[in-house]
Each structure stands twice: as C-alpha cells, then as structure tokens.
Amino acid sequence: MDGWPFNHGVSLAHSWSTWPVFLMPRYLAGVCLRAPGWRVIGIEPVIAGLDYVECSLDSVVGRMQISVTLEADRFER
C-alpha cells in the first residue's frame, strides 16, 4: 500500500477514522461529562490490561489532564 488508498475511490481521511480519538479519553481515561458545558466531569477509567493511561483534553472551560496508574499490589486482575 505504501501509504496510498486501495483504489481511486477510497479516501483514508474520513470522520470514522477518528474513532480512536474518542475512545481513549472516554473509555481508557474515563472522562465523562456530568454537567453541560464541561462544568462538572467524572473520571471512570476502564481497566483494560494497561498499567498507565495519561490523557489531556481541551474544552470550553480549559485544559484537563488525567493520569491513571494501576498499582498491581492494590488491584487483582
């Protein structure tokens, strides 16, 4: 493929190709909206076999930075 689409009618720049951009903050870091306008957020990370997740998001009220570290001696897999 050498970085080119499969044929002339295929574009690799579609909105559905941004799905991982949504998944990381929402599921791995656990950022969820609790009030309109990002005034209140929740942090509910999904433990997906990772030991560490770091995420930053820009919102209308400012930048959010989230770090989640799994301490193996405090959590059974």
> Tens digit of pLDDT for each residue in 35-68?
998 889 898 888 778 888 898 888 888 998 989 8
Phi, psi of 57 (to 5 degrees): -135, 140
Going by the DSSP 8-state scheme, the letter that residue 51 receives in this structure is S
Q: Which long-range contacts (CB under 8 A, 24 or more apart) does 42-51 make?
A: 43/68, 47/75, 47/77, 49/77
Q: How far is CA 28 from CA 38, 63, 73, in A?
A: 19, 18, 20
Structure confidence at residue 11 (pLDDT): 58
- Where is pLDDT greater, at 52 or 13? 52
Q: For the whole model, what pTM was predicted?
A: 0.57
Q: Identify any residues that bridge with 56 across adjacent strands, giving them in sequence order.
A: 65
Whether the per-residue pLDDT at 33 is higher than 80: the answer is yes
